[in-house]
Each structure stands twice: as C-alpha cells, then as structure tokens.
Amino acid sequence: MVGSYANGHAASGGAVAAEKLDELRRLLGKADGDLLKIVGVGAGAWGSVFCALLQDAYGRHRDKAQVRVWRRPGRPVDRSTAEHLFEVINAREDVLRRLISRCAYLKYVEARLGDRTLYADEILRDGFCLNMIDTPLCPLKVVTNLQEAVWDADIVINGLPSTETREVFGEIGRYWKERISPPVIISLAKGIEASIDPVPRIITPTQMISNATGVPLENILYLGGPNIASEIYNKEYANARICGADKWRKPLAKFLRQPHFIVWDNSDLITHEVMGGLKNIYAIGAGMVAALTNESATSKSVYFSLCTSEMIYITHLLAKEPEKLAGPLLADTYVTLLKGRNAWYGQKLAKGELTLAMGDSIKGKGTIQGVSAVNAFYELLSQGSLSVTHPEAKKPVAPVELCPILKTLYKILIKRELGTDSILQAIRDESMCDPRERIEMSQRQSLYRPSLLGLPQGDT
C-alpha cells in the first residue's frame, strides 16, 4: 500500500494530492467552494514543520484548502539571531531570491545592522521558525489573533508544549461554545501531567484538550514517531504513527502521508501519547552521560541498557500488552537520544553552558518537555497505592523505588539536591541490579495498573 502510493505520487503528485484532499473534504462534509480550514496552534519547530508540510502538499489548491498558523505576537528576535538569520538567507540562493521577489529582503539587512527589530510572527510568514533558524521553510500564513485563527477551523494541529496546552485550549474552548459540530484535532505534544486525587493517574495533552474544549476524545488524535523536525522538512525518510478513533485516523494517515513521510495508524491513543512523553525523561540523562564521559560509547551503552529496562518496566504498569509498544518506544527513544532537544539540554547542563535557573524554555530550542515529565512520572510512581513487590526485599514498595535513573533525574532537575555528575554515580552503583532482572520481574509480576491511564480496573 505504501509503496504503491509512493510510486503514484512520483508519477502524478498534484493529481494524487487533489484526490486525497477531495476525499478528506467529503468526509468532513465540505461543500464546493467551502474551504477546508487547517490551523496550527503554536509555532515551535515540529508544529511549524508540520504545517509547512501541509502547505507544500496542498497549498496550491487554494480554492479547496487553507493552511494557517497561530502564534503569539510581539516576540522580538534578538540581534545575534538576526545576524545568524541573515547568514542563513545568503547561503541559500533559493531563499534569497524568494525574499527579494517578495520585497522582504531589506528588513533582514536592516535587522542585521541593528536598524530595526524583527518579530517571530513576522519571520514565520517568510518561512523562518525562531526555534529552527537553520532550516528555512515555505512561507506560511500566520495569524496572531487566536479567536480569528480557530473559530471556524475544520482541523486544528496542536503544536504547543504540553505545559501550555491546557491554558491555550481553555481559551479556544470559549470560542467554540456555539459550534454545531466539533473540529478534528491532531496533537503533536509529548508530555504529561500527574493527577493524584482521587487516584493517581496520568493526564495527557489530548485529554487536556477534550476537558478544556468539550471536543469528544474520538475527534482528537495524537501523532508521534521517531523523527527530527528539520530532517523531515529536508525530506529525510521518516515515519510516524497517528493514533485515535477509527473514523479519523485512517483517512488522516492517508492525507498526511508523503513519499518521504510515511504515516501509520493505531487505535491506542493514550498509551502511545504517554510513551512519547516517557522517552524525553531518559533523553535528558543520556545527554548528561554523553557530556560527562566525553561521548564514551561504552558509558552511553550502559546508560541505554539501564534506561530502556526502566522504560520497559514502566510500560508494564501502563499497558496490558506492553510488548506491542517496544518497537515504537525504542525507535522514538533512539532518535531522541541521538539528536533531540532533551538530550541536547542534558549535555548543556552537564557542561555548565545552561543552568536549571534558566528554566525549561530555551532560546532557539523551545520548551524542554522532559523536565515536566520527570516531575509527573516521579510523582505518580511514588504513590504507595500503586505498590509492587520488590524482587529482593520481597516487600511492597512504590514503583519509583525500582527506577533509580528516574529518581536521580528527579533529584537533579526538580529538587536540585544533586549535581549532574550524580547520573554517573547512579549507573555505576555496585548495588544496581542487572537490567535483565528488572525486565524479567516486570514479566513475572502482574504490574498493569489501568487506573494510571484513567481506565477502570479490568478495562483494556
């Protein structure tokens, strides 16, 4: 199926795009002359690239579809970023010619000289995401008024960090009170919140959106996978997985699929979404280990072995059939450890080039979502009501007691009791059990806790 689609796209790309667009329009009940309105909410690296991919694929069909991006207005671009942006522009002849033809080049010259200030929404219109300056995108239609952007949107892309999703979609929910039919929402956010009362459970971005807007969960999907935003836009081969209800996930997978970006579909929305947040935790630690050991392959492999055993252990708490998650989770973890912003953040902390006092929103990178995920998972897995049997002590303990790396990262990043070098002490601890034993214990014990995902006991 994928191969036949890719060949067809190569032979008649425009015709295939038009056919896919018409198919989705029919499913959404769009009449002739009524635009299919797609709006990205948030303009971080992945959110901007995702909208740019849609603009490249469907933007030529102006009578049928419209792609726009909302971002907050008024964020200035500092002088050093403006100077770097000028270098990027002049290194790419196609970008330089495009800006000159749009009469937009002069402002970048003036900004480089310090004669004017550029703004993030302004440069995004020209195809430059503030968090990804080195990868020029296609020009994008940018809206800075949130109500104008979303009130009649058919498809909304959540490109916000999980830490901002609830607040922004709470505002959006007020604009949608009079809507007759709910939109379809695709969330790209990778992060979670913890709720302790009345029982410990995870709250994911799709659940935040549903709670804030009243849009039923069957209209909200999650898209994630092992990918780096800049590489996808540069047409490096990648794949992703869109998860959610049958009605929308299969047609949207087809609509989003491109020859270099293969989109599969899966019904398990919440678990995949949680896994997308889990790997960010361990990516931060991987960055620390890499920096502290001068990129020692041996040390990094020891860390990888230990952190993957912890993640497998945690998936047994969250999923009835955790083995089905092993491939997607490991693939997403692998690429995040190689080149993701969370691993980068861990490296910078360990090298002293960043400090925790600077917060988790970093210039040129956006929000480091692994930090809030460390706090959420630690808080959840510390609850005695979720106790498991310790394999050696043979007594009930909170699940976090079997996650030494998570505990150490919590003490470094959240409590700030330990320095980054403590991560090395954690993986070199002589009392550390063989990672294989943690995995075997996970398989022997009945660890599954459906309540953690808000499911009743026994609900799969």
Q: Catalytic residue positions? A: 279
Q: From CA 372, how far away is CA 345, in angstroms rounded?
A: 13
User: 79 with 51: CB under 8 angstroms?
Assistant: no
* Inter-residue long-range contacts of 141-144, CB under 8 Å, 24+ positions, other chains counted: 141/66, 141/67, 141/68, 141/69, 142/43, 142/68, 142/69, 142/70, 142/71, 143/39, 143/68, 143/69, 143/70, 144/70, 144/71, 144/72, 144/73
User: What does DSSP assign to residue 320?
Assistant: S
- The string of DSSP letters for 141-187 reads EEE--HHHHHTT-SEEEE-S-HHHHHHHHHHHHHHTTT-SSPPEEEE
3-class DSSP state of 77: strand
Exposed e or buried b for every residue in 18-31, given b needs 16+ CB within 10 A?
Answer: bebbeebbeebebe
Instruction: Round the CA-based radius of gyration of the chain to a whole number and report it.
Output: 23
Strands (E) across 204-320 are located at 220-224, 238-243, 261-266
Structure tokens that stand for 360 in this block: 């988790």
| Chain centroid, CA 231 distance in Å | 15
Can you list the positions of beta strands (E) in 275-397?
Answer: 361-362, 366-367, 388-389, 396-397
Please compute, for residue 323, the number of CA atoms within 13 A of its CA located in the half-sphere on the CB side.
2
Which DSSP category does 342 fall into? H
Q: To 5 degrees, how large is the angle CA 53–CA 36–CA 273?
A: 55
Find how far residue 375's CA is from the centre of its chain: 17
